[in-house]
A and B are shown apart, each in its own frame.
Chain A
Amino acid sequence: MEDVIKLHYVVPGDDFTRAGAASGDVKRTLKQLGISPAVIRNVSIAMYEGEINMVIHAGGGEIDVEITENGIKMALADKGPGIANVELAMKEGYSTAPDNIRNLGFGAGMGLPNIKKYTDDFRIETAVGVGTTLFLNVNIQ
């Protein structure tokens, strides 16, 4: 049986300054495991964008990461407002983030497109009023 490393993070929704701490921790773990820099960067950026989204849009959430010899799987789940129009949300430049978030350097409408770009598998489950979960996978070649 292959080894699986499982990591779990709770992302607080009220502290923008700490957003990204979970992604930073995963990045350090992958580095220690000797994973290639390109794979580490893809995982880090995708997860970081997801983590930021949780804080901006959903009041925080939870992230599960599974590392195997084949790849890194991530599930980012929140109980936020959900995404009414996923197709629109995937469009580069489309954003529902308020001005105060733009002043913090986010809300350019690049979050979900970036996540898709840096992952090999990208699936989104969302329901308005219930929440959103992203299922992401980055392969290790």
Chain B
Amino acid sequence: MKVRDIQEILNAEVICRDDLLDTEVYAACGSDMMSDVLAFVKEQAVMLTGLVNPQVVRTAEMMDMHCIVFVRGKRPDLNMIEMAEDRDMVMLCTDCEMFTSCGKLYSAGLRGGSAQ
């Protein structure tokens, strides 16, 4: 699945790096707890979260993630957007809640990964 597909499925607004919408993602992880995300090992994954602070971008950076989806209408601030731009990450915002967002992406074929 491409980041562009995620954007369409979740009817999401692109906040930054729309030049990277064709990036492939192979797995997804949804959590507001960053340590849970850090326990998750998958290549080229996307993070869905309702948490808004700079550590969301740092966590995605450490995990080599290329896309962050903010659910239930949450929006990153300017500082976070600049951090994401520098780190080649697409940021998406959707009004869908976490459960609905994950369900829609799962139905479309995207899978999670097990924390080992």
Interface residues of A in 26-48 (CB under 8 A from B): 27, 37, 41, 44-45, 48
- For residue A124, CB closer than 8 A to chain B, the reply is no
Task: Report whether over half of chain B's contact residues are helix, strand or loop; otherwise say mixed.
Answer: helix
Of B13-21, B60-68, B94-102, B103-111, the stretch lying at the interface with chain A is B60-68
Determine if A44 and B62 form an interchain contact, defined as CB atoms under 8 angstroms apart. yes
- Max chain B C-beta neighbours (<10 A), residue from A19, A20, A37: A20
- For residue B74, CB closer than 8 A to chain A, the reply is no
| CA of A19 to CA of B62, assembled, Å | 13
Name A108's contact: one of B36, B56, B63 (CB within 8 Å). Answer: B36
**Residues of chain A with a CB closer than 8 A to B59's CB:** 48, 105
| CA of A109 to CA of B35, assembled, Å | 8
Determine if A106 and B63 form an interchain contact, defined as CB atoms under 8 angstroms apart. no
Determine if B55 and A19 form an interchain contact, defined as CB atoms under 8 angstroms apart. yes
Name A117's contact: one of B36, B39, B56, B79 (CB within 8 Å). Answer: B39
**Residues of chain B with a CB closer than 8 A to A78's CB:** none
Determine if B116 and A17 form an interchain contact, defined as CB atoms under 8 angstroms apart. no
**B59 smallest CB distance to A (angstroms):** 8
- For residue B54, CB closer than 8 A to chain A, the reply is yes
| CA of A45 to CA of B54, assembled, Å | 16
**Residues of chain B with a CB closer than 8 A to A37's CB:** 64
- For residue B1, CB closer than 8 A to chain A, the reply is no
**A88 smallest CB distance to B (angstroms):** 16
Q: Pick 16 A–B contacts, CB within 8 A, sort by A.
A: A20-B55, A24-B58, A27-B61, A37-B64, A44-B62, A45-B38, A52-B55, A104-B53, A105-B51, A105-B56, A105-B59, A108-B33, A108-B35, A110-B36, A117-B39, A117-B116
